Chains A and B, each alone.
Chain A
């Protein structure tokens, strides 16, 4: 059974870079059938897709966050990572990682999801 687990600092200072890692267990991140994505949810608000990566390193990002986001993959560790630069209080959210289906060759649904990790941006 595939499982994903987010890890990283729970507190980040304004203007600094948020860094999170998602460790995949129970399956290979190198599968050609999936992308691997990051989604966030500010407290009390809805879901926002951040970006996704293919095991080859190909990425696509939310246009509204693209200038600040970098997603990378380490197939040897079965992990993928998120970096979000120049953070502000508006970036405070629960950050989820998830596997994304490549059905019919395109980006599709997310399943399963990690449990999520709360990142607070505050000095």
Chain B
């Protein structure tokens, strides 16, 4: 069981918009810790997609956006493309148990 909860899978047709949720608690997201998102293409290392809740690193298309509210965060992908098919992970920090970096369980995005 991951500290941060993500849906196991989401899907969408090319051109559509999908969102991936990341639900935490009062000891992590709800405590004000930032949420970061990663994209992992098949057989490759994770790549930073969103940092600090809503910031995109250089080179990440503006089709990807992040938001945070209360004890949850969301990743939105608009204008879905075939190459967006990947696993997506959220990450934050949890202040319980002496403090720990925590990841969500991951969400598999399928482009139909």
Contacts and interface: CB of A to CB of B under 8 A. Distances in A.
Contacts, number: 64
Interface in A16-64: 37, 39, 46-49, 52, 60, 62-63
B100 A109 contact: no
B100 A62 contact: yes
Nearest to B97: A63
Interface stretch (B12-20, B21-29, B44-52, B68-76): B44-52
B55 to A, nearest CB: 9
Given A46-B105, A101-B51, A111-B57, A116 B45 contact: yes
B106 A106 contact: no
B93 A106 contact: yes
A63 B100 contact: yes
B103 A47 contact: yes
A49 B103 contact: yes
Interface in A85-106: 96, 100-101, 103, 106
Given A63-B97, A113-B45, A116-B45, A47 B106 contact: yes
A107 to B, nearest CB: 6
Contacts of A115: 44-45
Contact of B93 (A46, A63, A107): A107
B46 A96 contact: yes
Given A46-B89, A108-B36, A109-B51, A52 B101 contact: yes
A49 B101 contact: yes
B59 to A, nearest CB: 11
Contacts of A109: 34, 36, 48, 51-52, 91
Interface of A: 37, 39, 46-49, 52, 60, 62-63, 96, 100-101, 103, 106-116
